[in-house]
């Protein structure tokens, strides 16, 4: 097992990683723009939109699992250049995606008030959130289509188009927010409702641009409406076998993340504020790592599909070393940047101290976080080892981090820095187990059919 030294390999990693990094940054910018504009209306309006999006978050987590699981199959079939089967798999994914979207949309339209009431008892928030959720639900099918399409395109190394389309969508969303939220250019001032309408229009535009690209510019898959009619019972079985653990994995992980947020939230306002500051820094420092993770999934899947198993081992080992190096560099950057970033915030001295402590922990944990994500979500999952990833990605969170976090924070009354050590310990254990699994090479499974 040797490191890959050819320049073309690293060019491929960068050609996939950089557009994905930009795409991730655009996603962050969309959320930031909404938050800043709605924040000018007041806390009630901002909270209404934020809580309404919790139901959408659950929906999108399932979609990320659907798209990510499908990409495993597509990347391997692309490795063997079996386009007909890729078209069939895309058709299956779209049918599941449409069904899921319609189901969530019906629920959002039928009982929006009850959904918002799960998260708050504030009648003002519920009243505004109900209107927001009803309108936002129209975007579900378009958001799902966009996410699944981009997952399929990414699996065949078509990634630059996502940056172009998402950039247009971002600019349109911001422009429409400015018009509809505040009533500029002669438009009525719609507030939160305007933000929801802007989101729907942006997602529709996004979907139209994707359809135009797939119809007139994509020369690889050549998708059309006929893919919805394609049927293959064996591919359907493979789809269920591979995709189901990924969707379950994403759902359990997202619920676990919410539980950890509850722990942090109940430790006090200063802790929440400090953690928010630390998370922003952590996200900025790891954006390239997550992009490399996405690139590794495509590269490994393509090599396995092409039956280049020895090369797959070399690529996996090389990516392991690259990500470990990037993780350590990110950790050093977090450590050095701590005092400089915190001074930008007008917060209490206690909040600054807590933020410094959390960022100190993050500077150490980030290398394990990078390894765990790239190995689990990128390499091992691309090898079809979805059941191992499902177990490894959630077992330490649910058996150690969450219960010990609750006990440490509210029973033992441990200092904040120790509680954060506990709730991040799963990243260390996940990365160790994933590394052992990677070096065993039992994860290499060709899931394609002849």
Domain boundaries, the chain: 13-231, 253-450
The string of pLDDT tens digits covering residues 176-206 is: 999 999 999 988 999 889 999 999 999 999 9
pLDDT over threshold 80, residue 210? yes
Mean pLDDT over 241-266 rounds to 87
Task: Write out the chain in H/E/C secondary structure.
Answer: CCCCCCHHHHHHHHHHHHHHHHHHHHHHHHHHHHHHHHHCCCHHHHHHHHHHHHHHHHHHHHHHHHHHHHHHHHHHHHHCCCHHHHHHHHHHHHHHHHHHHHHHHHHHHHCHHHHHHHHCCCHHHHHHHHHHHHHHHHHHHHHHHHHHHHHHHHHCCCCHHHHHHHHHHHHHHHHHHHHHHHCCCCCCCCCHHHHHHHHHHHHHHHHHHHHHHHHHHCCCCCCCHHHHHCCCHHHHHHHHHHHHHHHHHHHHHHHHHHHHHHHHHCCCHHHHHHHHHHHHHHHHHHHHHHHHHHHHHHHHHHHHHCCCHHHHHHHHHHHHHHHHHHHHHHHHHHHHHHHHHHCCCCCCHHHHHHHHHHHHHHHHHHHHHHHHHHHHHHHHHHCCCHHHHHHHHHHHHHHHHHHHHHHHHHCCCCCHHHHHHHHCHHHHHHHHHHHHHHHHCCCCCCCCCC
* pTM greater than 0.85: yes
pLDDT at residue 1, rounded to an integer: 59
pLDDT at residue 196, rounded to an integer: 92
Percent of the chain with pLDDT over 90: 60
pLDDT at residue 37, rounded to an integer: 80
Asked which of 21-25, 379-383, 384-388 is least confident by mean pLDDT, the reply is 21-25
The string of pLDDT tens digits covering residues 279-332 is: 878 877 788 888 898 899 999 999 999 999 999 999 999 999 999 999 999 999
Mean pLDDT over 162-188 rounds to 92
């Amino acid at each position: 097992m040797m490191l890959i030294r050819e320049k073309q390999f690293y060019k491929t990693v960068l050609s996939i990683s950089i557009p994905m990094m930009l795409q991730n940054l655009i996603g962050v910018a969309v959320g930031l723009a909404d938050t800043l504009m709605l924040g000018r209306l007041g806390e009630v309006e901002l909270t209404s939109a934020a809580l309404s999006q919790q139901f959408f978050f659950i929906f999108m987590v399932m979609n990320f699992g659907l798209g990510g699981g499908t990409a495993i199959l597509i990347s391997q079939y692309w490795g063997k250049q079996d386009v007909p089967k890729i078209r069939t798999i895309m058709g299956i994914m779209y049918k599941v995606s449409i069904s899921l979207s319609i189901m969530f949309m019906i629920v959002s339209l039928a009982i929006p008030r009850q959904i918002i009431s799960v998260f708050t008892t504030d009648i003002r928030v519920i009243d505004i959130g109900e209107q927001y959720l009803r309108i936002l639900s129209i975007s579900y099918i378009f958001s799902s289509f966009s996410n699944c399409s981009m997952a399929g395109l990414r699996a065949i190394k078509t990634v630059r188009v996502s940056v172009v389309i998402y950039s247009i969508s971002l600019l349109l969303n911001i422009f429409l927010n400015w018009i509809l939220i505040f009533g500029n250019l002669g438009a009525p001032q719609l507030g939160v409702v305007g933000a929801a309408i802007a989101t729907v229009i942006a997602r529709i535009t996004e979907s139209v641009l994707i359809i135009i690209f797939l119809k007139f510019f994509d020369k690889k898959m050549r998708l059309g409406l006929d893919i919805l009619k394609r049927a293959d019972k064996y591919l359907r079985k493979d789809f269920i076998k591979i995709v189901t653990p990924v969707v379950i994995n994403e759902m359990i992980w997202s619920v676990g993340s919410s539980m950890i947020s509850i722990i942090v939230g109940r430790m006090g306002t200063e802790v929440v504020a400090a953690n928010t500051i630390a998370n922003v820094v952590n996200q900025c420092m790891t954006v390239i790592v997550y992009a490399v993770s996405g690139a590794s999934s495509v590269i490994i899947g393509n090599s396995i599909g092409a039956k280049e198993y020895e090369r797959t081992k070399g690529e996996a080992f090389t990516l392991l070393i690259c990500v470990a190096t990037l993780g350590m560099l990110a950790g050093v950057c977090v450590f050095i940047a701590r005092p400089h970033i915190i001074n930008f915030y007008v917060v209490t001295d206690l909040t600054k101290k807590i933020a410094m402590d959390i960022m100190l922990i993050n500077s150490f944990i980030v290398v394990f976080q990078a390894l765990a994500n790239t190995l689990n979500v990128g390499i091992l999952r691309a090898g079809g080892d979805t059941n191992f990833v499902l177990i490894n990605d959630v077992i330490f969170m649910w058996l150690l981090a969450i219960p010990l976090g609750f006990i440490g924070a509210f029973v033992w009354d441990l200092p904040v820095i120790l509680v954060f050590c506990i709730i991040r310990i799963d990243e260390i254990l996940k990365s160790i187990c994933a590394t052992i699994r990677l070096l065993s090479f039992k994860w290499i499974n060709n899931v394609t059919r002849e």
